[in-house]
Homo-oligomer: A and B are copies of this chain.
Amino acid sequence: MTIWTLDETHDPNAESWISSANLESSAFGLQNLPYGVATAGNNAEPVIVVAIGDQALNLSACAAAGLLDEIFGVDACGILCRDDLNALMARSPAEWRALRLWLHRALRAGSEMQSGIEGFLLPIETLRMRLPARIGDYTDFYCSVEHATNVGKVFRPDNPLLPNFKSLPVGYHGRASSIIVSGAEVRRPNGQIRVDGDIVFAPSRMLDYELELGAFIGGGKNDSGVHRLPEARERLFGVCLVNDWSARDIQAWEYQPLGPFLSKSFATTISPWVVTMDALAPFRVAARERLADDPALLDYLADQDEARGGALTIDLAVRLESAAMRERGDAPLTVTRTNAAGLYWTFAQMITHHMSNGCPMMPGDLIASGTISGETQGSQGSLLELTRRGAEPLDLGNGESRGFLQDGDEIVLEGRCEREGFRAIGFGECRGAVLPASDWS
């Protein structure tokens, strides 16, 4: 077990020579060090970067300068002088840790390396962030029992939770080509929807967000043999925020019997910074307790490492800003606040289950948690739940209300980990604004 353990990189008293990183408000303190891919300037080649305060260290440039060869035992430029994180993800957890330790020491106040790397810093505000990886396959799970129950209640009031939910992490294959990075606009989809009893092809009237976490897969391609949970856990590279935009009216008509399809594959927004499992180590908590009358957990899904905690405590929020708010300069409204610790299944269980049939997982693949909802009003991760499918619209407090999203609405997801005795870390934003549908008439 080489990942998710505490070491000097988690020292809460460590400060960086980049002073903005030392502000408590910064998402990107020295203890975080998330990876991304960005272009700086109009014609620049994309490079791999690490966020530190309001700066980003150009890791591709560090590798090109030969500073990182000893970590990988090979020419590090082959791994890091790229426009995606896939080659880094394909390395081992021990190498991920070694790179993190190098970054920590290089960026720590008093580091001898400061003068050697200062020239490789780029202000984050000048960067154009890109997708951090080439995502070969994308899987979306359904791991929040509150979300599954809330959604089930809309359709089956007496029997909201389906019988398989607590036996396996329910999931489905998503569409990799429609994953976009934070900031890209989202066009309202057209599709077949029911209007006054008739099926018509028209813009969705029930556009929704879904608050999720996504985990990027690392390591080498597995074979079709036996890959138990501890091995599967080491395939987890890092986490980002995911907005799994959903068109509820398209979904309701299309989804039987093969599941959601075009109701999801128009756009899925992810945050650009990948927070590593090592950075998240202090925020591990025990997986959600199974109730006495829950079905027994099958052996292959048992987390033998439960003392150390397979779940993550991450405070999550969703802000909504309407066009009218933006015009008037009003602050966005926080519509969802919840925490990821309540998920019924852990990422290690999801990936173990995913590989249990022999399915090849590749570096750069993304698995998402499904919508993260809590039990109380305001903690639900979608408007479908918050408004009971539009029946109880949200009051935005400025004279507007929302059953579902309107054109011009912007949704921002945020995530932050806090724990006594540790430096808080953040995920940055996952942002997207809704454009009007294309006109097929």
Contacts and interface: CB of A to CB of B under 8 A. Distances in A.
B177 A360 contact: yes
A440 to B, nearest CB: 5
A253 B191 CA distance: 29
Nearest to A192: B168
Contacts of A298: 192, 199-201
A358 B164 contact: no
Given A171-B261, A258-B171, A295 B199 contact: yes
Interface in A163-183: 164, 167-168, 170-178
Contacts of A168: 192, 253-254
Interface stretch (A38-46, A262-270, A414-422): A262-270
| Interface magnitude class on chain A | 35 or more
Copies of this subunit: 2
A187 B257 contact: no
A171 B439 CA distance: 24
A262 B357 contact: yes
Contacts of A211: none
Contact of A136 (B176, B356, B365, B439): B176
Contacts of A200: 298
Q: By DSSP majority rule, is chain A's interface helix, strand, loop, or mixed?
A: loop
Contacts of A259: 172, 255, 257-260
A361 B178 CA distance: 9
Nearest to A257: B162
A407 interface: no
Contact of A267 (B189, B295, B358): B358
Interface in A188-224: 189-192, 199-201, 224
Given A168-B254, A199-B298, A360-B177, A438 B224 contact: yes
22 contacts: A136-B136, A136-B177, A137-B177, A168-B192, A168-B254, A170-B258, A172-B259, A173-B175, A177-B361, A178-B358, A199-B298, A201-B299, A201-B356, A226-B439, A255-B259, A257-B259, A258-B260, A262-B354, A262-B356, A263-B357, A265-B357, A358-B438
